[in-house]
């Protein structure tokens, strides 16, 4: 995870840049997905806490669960 481009970029942010990015992410004009907001806040807490963000499947499944497929004409 340490070589992830997003993580490397976020680690360069100052407190002011994190504040501005948080405002951007929460803006309903630019973002309508609650999961993106949750992911940003999770990454921010991990980076500001000097912890390496977890790469476990469990944490990614919690934030971004796999949507169930819907089928109109399926028979089960």
* Domain-wise residue ranges, the chain: 5-63
User: Residues 25-68: pLDDT tens digits?
Assistant: 999 999 999 999 999 999 999 988 865 555 554 555 555 555 55
pTM: 0.59
> Are 65 and 71 within 8 A, CB to CB?
no
Is the model's pLDDT at 24 over the cut of 90? yes
DSSP state for residue 3 in the 8-state scheme: T
Structure tokens at 42: 């999770």
User: What pLDDT does residue 56 have?
Assistant: 52
């Amino acid at each position: 995870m340490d070589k992830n481009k997003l993580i490397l970029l976020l680690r360069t942010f100052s407190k002011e840049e994190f504040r501005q990015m948080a405002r951007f992410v929460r803006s309903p004009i630019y973002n309508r997905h609650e999961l993106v907001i949750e992911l940003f806040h999770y990454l921010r807490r991990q980076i500001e806490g000097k912890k390496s963000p977890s790469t476990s499947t469990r944490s990614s499944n919690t934030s971004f669960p796999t949507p169930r497929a819907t089928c109109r004409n399926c028979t089960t």
